[in-house]
Amino acid sequence: MSAGNTKPFILSLLAFIVLAGYTQSAIAEGCSPIKPTSRVFSDISMTTSALEDGASVGMSWSLADVVRSNTSHGAVLRGVLVSPRGDSDGKPVIVPASDWECDE
């Protein structure tokens, strides 16, 4: 392989490595919690609660603008939390996919 062909090869290899460990897909509709103790996190590390005092959401909350991702923490959903009144602060949150049911 000549020096001129090395850079595209390395970039392609790097892109493959990065994308192989992280996949995502958009979900058309919203999601709702399947249990009253569903947790909501503010970051992908899933260590910082997005709610005060580490509270969980109730069954009437929903998740909008949802994208499903597979991470080192397992399947997660990224979206915007919507209250029972229909309002949202617009901040993205992360939730365990196993805690939510989505309309696909």
Taking only the tens place, the pLDDT of each residue in 91-101 is: 899 999 999 99
Give the rounded percent of residues in the chain with a pLDDT score beyond 70. Answer: 68
- Long-range CB pairs of 53-59 (<8 Å, 24+ gap) are 57/33, 57/81, 58/33, 58/84, 59/32, 59/33, 59/35
Q: Return the pLDDT at 5.
A: 59
Taking only the tens place, the pLDDT of each residue in 9-36 is: 555 544 444 444 444 455 545 899 998 8
Taking only the tens place, the pLDDT of each residue in 66-78 is: 999 888 878 999 9
Q: Return the pLDDT at 44.
A: 76
Q: Return the pLDDT at 42.
A: 83
Amino acid, single-letter form, for residue 16: F
What does the alpha-carbon distance between residue 65 and residue 69 come to, in Å, rounded to a whole number?
A: 13
Rounded to two decimals, the pTM is 0.66
